[in-house]
Amino acid sequence: NVSVVVFTSDLRLYDHPPLRAALDGRRSVVPLFVRDAAVDRAGFAAPNRLAFLADCLRDLDEGLRERGGRLVVRSGDTVEEVCRVAAETDADEVHLAAEASAFAQRRERRLRHALEAEGRRLHVHDAVTTAVPPGAVTPASTDHFAVFTPYFRHWSRQALRRPLAAPRAVPVPDGAVSEPLPSRDGLSGLSPALAPGGESEGRARLAAWLRSGAEAYADRHDDLAGDATSRLSPHLHFGTLSPVEVVHRARRAGGPGAEAFVRQLAWRDFHRQVLAARPTAAHADYRTRGDRWRWGPAAAADAEAWRQGRTGHPIVDAAMRQLLHEGWLHNRGRLLAASFLTKTLYIDWRVGAEHFLRWLVDGDLANNQLNWQWVAGTGTDTRPHRVLSPLAQARRYDPDGAYVLRWVPELADAADAAGATRAAVHEPWKLPERVRSASGYPDPIVDLAEGLARFRRARGLD
């Protein structure tokens, strides 16, 4: 008897419950990845993520080959391809990890129907793509938590299953035909400093992080120039690391840094349980507040200046340039850039979320859309009217201007020419006109006080 294991956002061999269950007492297993055409059509297949995905699939294939198997890759509609592969290999069961999005939930339903019609069974596994599955903890009165703090209290008390070792052998039947593995070659529009993908890379990064990075996390995670966060987000997005295993290992490492890090992992599960319960929150406001909350007319030139990192507000521009260059952005940079777009420029959060999804290698429907909504005040923030002043953020999280200087180097020369301190780069409008225009750095596209006043009027706060 043969089983098919469908890999989606769980591209690993360690701690993989579907693979373990499929191997239990079976003769052979077909490890299958389907490059789903609907993901491309939805515009979700951004170049940075396709490149990272290619690394992940190659590494997964190598891991399987070391165990006597190989990866089978197909493209098309996941449901049709899984049924086809199951028929070709005469598999009687299929294993799949549960996922939160509307797309994934529909895929699961369709797959169950299609397989059952052919007399095959679908097994769906929880706690593969999350540490605590959506719906495992709920408030007394409703189907999901809308506020993080009480969610986290319950989340922390959940007993997690023990992480599984990687299998020693994965026998794959002969009949399973694979397309060539996708590769990075031929992809254009990549960020120049994109991180490499794959389970081996993810595990090495996790080990290094727990050995030497996590300790200082509680104190330094917001330091923009210090870059002292784990950078594990793409690995968690593609599932080259198991959230259950990461939580276990971080707890074992112990200390305030690891504790603060685990709390961030709970945010990931939090957003997934919101999205699983309210799949429309991927594109519509989670909280609707009527006409007063309508966004201003999308100012195309302002939005474009924001995308390019040319708003004239250095800390915002630094963040936006890091995003383009690395396909990744520090959480503090995401927060202040998103607040600037939605609250200072008063542009719809979807405009920003779309741009982030175009570039982020960890671009993730639950985390991206729901963090954007959190910042915009349409989501789960209990203080929806808070505005992050770029200048206050810059002074607090980049006090000596090191982060701005890394990404907006033209301001270094300007500050030097004016004989100003490095911290002066946060307010280039105070530099002499001559120096400023020589630097080529733009004047602010919006005055912060005017932006704030517009926001308060639009929200009916005055």
Task: Give buried/exposed letters for 192-210 (b at 16+ CB in 10 A, else e).
Answer: eebbebbbbbbbebbeebb
The packing angle between helices 390-397 and 331-339, to 10°, is 160
Nearest approach, Cβ of residue 323 and ligand FAD (Å): 10
Is 421 among the annotated ligand-binding positions? Answer: no
Nearest approach, Cβ of residue 385 and ligand FAD (Å): 17
Is 64 among the annotated ligand-binding positions? Answer: no
Is 57 among the annotated ligand-binding positions? Answer: no
Is 419 among the annotated ligand-binding positions? Answer: no
Which CB atom, from 3 or from 369, has the smaller least distance to ligand FAD? 369
User: In a 10 Å sphere around its CB, with 0-12 CB exposed, 13-18 middle and 19+ buried, how is residue 328 labelled?
Assistant: buried
Tell me the C-alpha distance between 37 and 77, whole Å. Answer: 6
Tell me the C-alpha distance between 40 and 36, whole Å. Answer: 7
Q: Which stretch of DSSP H or E encloses residue 228?
A: none
- Hunting for tokens 């917001």 — which residue is that? 222
Is 378 among the annotated ligand-binding positions? Answer: no
Tell me the C-alpha distance between 449 and 452, whole Å. Answer: 5
Which CB atom, from 332 or from 426, has the smaller least distance to ligand FAD? 332
Is 69 among the annotated ligand-binding positions? Answer: no
Kindly report the CA angle at 104 between 101 and 107, in degrees rounded to 5? 150
Which CB atom, from 375 or from 425, has the smaller least distance to ligand FAD? 375
Which CB atom, from 59 or from 364, has the smaller least distance to ligand FAD? 364
Check if the beta carbon of residue 391 is closer than 8 Å to that of residue 451.
no
Is 364 among the annotated ligand-binding positions? Answer: yes
Nearest approach, Cβ of residue 19 and ligand FAD (Å): 22
Which CB atom, from 120 or from 144, has the smaller least distance to ligand FAD? 144
Tell me the C-alpha distance between 372 and 348, whole Å. Answer: 10
Is 229 among the annotated ligand-binding positions? Answer: yes
Nearest approach, Cβ of residue 195 and ligand FAD (Å): 10
Give start and end residues of each alpha helix (H) in 348-401.
Answer: 349-359, 370-376, 390-397
Nearest approach, Cβ of residue 134 and ligand FAD (Å): 14
Which CB atom, from 14 or from 148, has the smaller least distance to ligand FAD? 148
**Interface with ligand FAD (CB under 6 A):** 221, 229-233, 236-237, 261, 264-265, 267-268, 271, 331, 334-335, 338, 356, 360, 362-364, 367-368, 371-372, 375
Nearest approach, Cβ of residue 265 and ligand FAD (Å): 5
Binding residues are 217, 229-233, 261, 362-364
Binding residues for FAD are 217, 229-233, 261, 362-364
